[in-house]
Chains A and B, each alone.
Chain A
Amino acid sequence: MASLILSPAEQDYITQGVERGLRADGRGGLDRREVTLRTNMISQANGSARCRTGYLGVGTDVLVGIKAEVNSWTAGEPEDRGAVVCSVECSPSAAQEFEGYGAEELNVELTQLLDRILGGPQSGLDLGKLCIIPKQAYWVLHVDALVLDVKGSIVDTLVWAARAALLATRLPRVVVESIADEDGNMQSEFDVVDDAEDQVALEGAENLPLAVTFSQIGKRYVVDASEQEEAVTQARVTVAVSPQMDICAIQKSATARGFAPSLLTEILHSARAIAREEHARFKRVFEAASSDGAAGEPSTGSTFLGTF
């Protein structure tokens, strides 16, 4: 997505490599790069995660914070559901062309994509459980993502980080009391328990999907495209797959071409196979990140002042 100009010889080298199944960095077509993850490092947020896809401390880097707010219901909104509101912003430090308004379009594109993956029942989140009192009050989860570095494959990293942040999210417990007023009508009131120990996880967060983005280069396709590979990508499709292996969102991104139907069918098949491995990997990485605390802090291999 970052604009990078390559020479025709480099483009040819990358394309040939993809078609032969041996990419410029030695990976096969369906190999993914390393992922490092850290959770709950923003104390003000209800849940947060930082995820990086890449090697040795360089790579696409996304920070997601979840902030839960109580909203009062207004007419026209769904009566018995909470809401998820996404917002993605690309930091100007990630790439030069994000300076000024340069990232505007990409921000809108990524925000919408994340909204489509997380914002409805397809996300697996139990939005009904986010309702506090029907037609009165509900939780709004603000999913705010900041893209800190771009080295290819933003969407997959973004969804990884969002999923980790939502899994790490703890909502304060809410006590609802119903009192009858003098006319005998039932009135409900609620109280948010202000106790760091007394918090609950999001219902259904373990059903959240992961995204796998396929980039068509030449006649074949790759997953987890590098920056150089994105520069020669002709068409791109993101497939979000739940842990139950259901495909819950598909989006083709605006690029030079479309997919041949046969290739798209093949992609949807391999999306599920890859998602199965990715969900297993996510589980492993997430557990390591949340169990060891400071020891689980990913070492980045950077020689200069270290980690995240």
Chain B
Amino acid sequence: MMDIDTEPVAADVAARIVTPGSAITSDPAFMRGHGTFGEGATIYSSVAGVVERINKLVSVRSLKQRYSGEIGDIIVGRITEVAAKRWRVDVNSRQDGVLLLSSINLPGGIQRRKSESDELQMRSFFAEGDLVFAEVQSYFADGALSLHTRSIQYGKLRNGTFVAVFPQLVPRSRTHFHTLPCGVDIVLGVNGYIWVSKHVSAAKVEANAEHIYSDCNEPISDAEREAIARVANCVQLLNRLYVKITETSVIFAYEESLGHAAKDLLSQDVAAELAHSVMARLKQQAS
């Protein structure tokens, strides 16, 4: 059993790892936040995670959690069902998100109301299994996320490979679509779904606006495949070794990994060594 703090000071309460049932504090001055429960005057943790304190509010952020969306989040989702005027999308959350037919762009960027014929050919836009790059537009009454793809950069994902990571490792940032120096595009979905693909220039995307719903990949060379595999493995190893996944950390991991073959990156020793040097570089950069 953990010690029950008699004189809680900030250092005692915050930045501590607890398991369900650990007593966090028994000082009545604190208020219970998320991930805690109270019994008598004592506050206990209800999840395994890190204790956080904001003024008098004590909460526990769990180490493993599902994605909970916020409006404006940029995410990657997988279509699970085509329904009436909407798609259901797996967004790694507690329930499926919804993409309304009215919140997508038509091929060629035509602006008009969606008609009945659009409704009949919904599968030609997105079918089950397709990956979409989207933004959270709003919530429904039951808490499900409503998504939209009304921008040229959003839409169907092609030319690459998919990696799922812990959502809490992907911080919200200004941009989630990055072109890495190694010529690989990466979409860091805030929901922990990550898309690594061949770089296609924005000009080319705009020129092909008619084909935004195409299922065909561009030709991908062996060198590009190797780079994609390397980046995907870097993301995977950062995830498994619990390092924040940002553009910077992925670039660091990629640079550090160049001494090893792409297929060896996930082996125990190499991964641990790479994660170590990435963390060291991130720390160095922060100071």
Contact = CB atoms under 8 A, between A and B. Distances in A.
B241 A55 contact: no
Interface residues of A, number: 30
B159 A9 contact: yes
Interface in B222-240: 222, 225-226, 228-230, 232-233, 236-237, 240
B160 interface: yes
B162 interface: yes
B14 interface: no
Contacts of B242: 303-304
A302 B265 contact: no
A303 B241 CA distance: 6
Contact of A24 (B48, B161, B261): B161
A58 to B, nearest CB: 7
A56 B240 contact: yes
Contacts of B226: 22, 26
Nearest to A299: B268
Report which residue of B232, B241, B263 has the largest number of chain A beta carbons within 10 angstroms of its beta carbon.
Answer: B263
A97 to B, nearest CB: 14
A9 B229 contact: no
Contacts of A16: 217, 220
Contacts, number: 100
Interface in B258-285: 261-263, 265-268, 271-272
B215 interface: yes
B152 interface: no
Contacts of A304: 48, 63-64, 242
Nearest to B79: A7
Interface stretch (B22-30, B101-109, B128-136, B247-255): B128-136
B158 interface: yes
B120 interface: no
B156 to A, nearest CB: 8
Q: Which of B131, B225, B236, B261 has the most CB of A within 10 A?
A: B225
A152 interface: no
Contacts of A25: 229, 232-233, 263, 266
Given A22-B226, A31-B263, A304-B64, A9 B217 contact: yes
Contact of B131 (A7, A31, A303): A7
B1 interface: no
A56 B78 CA distance: 25
Interface string A202-238: 0000000000000000000000000010000000000
A26 B262 contact: yes
A12 interface: yes
Given A20-B222, A24-B232, A58 B240 contact: yes
Contact of B240 (A5, A10, A302): A302
B186 to A, nearest CB: 15
Given A9-B156, A9-B217, 11 more contacts: A5-B129, A8-B127, A10-B131, A10-B162, A16-B220, A17-B225, A22-B226, A24-B229, A301-B240, A302-B240, A304-B242
